[in-house]
């Protein structure tokens, strides 16, 4: 008998399978956070994971912060999810400062994208959601936003609007998985940099993914 039928048949023939009554879903304290509290919570959770939140007044301020990060870390080459993110013009920032900036449509095939993502100093990406509960970013990966940009380079800079900040995961899951036809091929939560404690319980950042994560949040939406 084919494996599928044999396994399912055996499971279905099991006796005493009773339906389970679930208790009420437990409440989460974060659900009632108001906007200022959400920002504070997001920042404190993110910084506990060594991520850094910058609050930018507007897109010009965001550009200035971005340039500061680039200068401080001596970054030269970038892969970005778009030449402009929330109005922050990364392409022209690059050309003015002699930096290499590439966007997904610059790449002919997956191999060249892959090579660029692994070679870049940093990935600059948008994020679809920020979640206050744990200082988490939520990113929908699609043709505009390849997966590798936020995981292959040693540094990840995310630019996000305060309008996309939500209290808890459930708020975001409802939006992303609402329409079963349009579920993204991958949706990921990112909370701070890559980390490990696998040797003697000593924690350090940047095991396989980014060593640092910066989040620039534009406050005027």
Partner 1 sequence: MHSHVNKFIETARKELKNEPSQMFLMMVSLGAPILRQIGMSSFPDIAAAESYSRAIRADAIARLPELLEEFEKNAESKGAKVLWAKNAAEANNIILDIANRGGVSYVMKGKSMITEEIGLNEHLIKNGVEVFETDLGEVITQNLNLHPFHLVGPAINVPLEKISETFLKKGIIKKASTDPVELGGGARKYLRDKFRNLQMGIVGVNMAVAETGTIINVENEGNIRLIKSSPKTLVAIMSLEKVVPTIKDAIFMTRMLTRNCTGQKITSYVSMDTGPKKPDEQDGPEELFIIILDNGRSEIYRDFKTREILKCIRCGACLNTCPVYTKIGGYPYGATYCGPVGQVLTPMLMGIENTTDLYRACTLCGMCKQICPAGIDHPSLLLSYRSRQIDIKKQKGEKTMQSRGENAMASLISLGMSHGWLWNFGLKITRPLMNSLAKDGYIGSIPMGAQGWFGCRDLRAIPAKTFHETWNDLPSLPELSGNTSKKEDS
Which residues, 21 to 60, sit near partner 1 by CB under 8 A? 21-29, 45, 49
For the segment 74-113, give every residue that binds partner 1 (CB under 8 A). Answer: 104, 107, 109-110, 113
The tokens describing 183, both together, are 């579920």
User: Which H or E element spans position 88?
Assistant: strand 88-89
Joined tokens for residue 83: 């030449």
100-102, strands of its sheet edge to edge: 52-56, 212-218, 155-161, 122-126, 77-80, 100-102
**# of chain residues touching partner 1 (CB under 8 A):** 78
Pick 95 or 196: Cβ nearer partner 1: 196
Site for partner 1 in 162-221 (CB under 8 A): 169-170, 173, 177, 180, 183-202, 204, 206-210
Closest CB 178 distance from partner 1, rounded Å: 10
Give the nearer residue to partner 1 in terms of CB position, either 39 or 56.
Answer: 39
Cβ burial, residue 18 (10 Å; 0-12/13-18/19+): exposed
Find the helix or strand (DSSP H, E) in which 8 lies: helix 3-12
Helix (H), strand (E) at residue 166: strand 165-166
Tell me the window of 3-11, 66-74, 84-92, 157-165 that interacts with partner 1 (CB under 8 A).
3-11
Q: Closest approach of Cβ 90 to partner 1, in Å?
A: 18
Give min distance, CB of 63 to partner 1, in A.
26
Q: What phi-psi label fits residue 206: left (phi over 0), alpha (psi between -120 and 50 degrees) or beta?
A: left
Structural element, H or E, at residue 80: strand 77-80
**Contact range with partner 1 by CB under 8 A, out of 4-12, 52-60, 90-98, 159-167:** 4-12
Q: Which residues ranging from 128 to 167 are in contact with partner 1 (CB under 8 A)?
A: 133-134, 136, 141-143, 146-148, 151-152
């Amino acid at each position: 008998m084919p494996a599928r039928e044999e396994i399912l048949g055996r499971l279905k023939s099991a006796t005493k399978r009773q339906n389970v009554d679930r208790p009420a879903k437990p409440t989460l304290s974060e659900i009632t956070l108001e906007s200022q509290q959400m920002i504070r919570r997001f920042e404190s959770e993110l910084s506990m994971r060594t991520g850094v939140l910058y609050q930018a007044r507007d897109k010009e301020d965001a550009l200035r912060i971005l340039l500061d990060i680039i200068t401080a870390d001596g970054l030269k080459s970038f892969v970005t999810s778009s030449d402009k993110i929330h109005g922050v013009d990364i392409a022209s920032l690059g050309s003015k400062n002699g930096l290499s900036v590439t966007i997904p449509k610059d790449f002919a095939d997956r191999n060249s994208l892959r090579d660029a993502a692994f070679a870049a100093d940093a990935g600059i990406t948008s994020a679809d959601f920020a979640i206050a509960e744990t200082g988490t970013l939520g990113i929908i990966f699609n043709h505009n936003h390849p997966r590798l940009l936020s995981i292959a380079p040693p540094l990840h800079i995310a630019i996000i609007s305060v309008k996309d900040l939500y209290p808890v995961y459930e708020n975001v899951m409802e939006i992303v998985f609402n329409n079963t036809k349009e579920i993204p091929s991958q949706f990921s939560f990112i909370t701070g940099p890559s980390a490990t404690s696998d040797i003697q319980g000593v924690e350090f950042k940047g095991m396989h993914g980014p060593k640092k994560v910066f989040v620039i949040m534009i406050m005027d939406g």
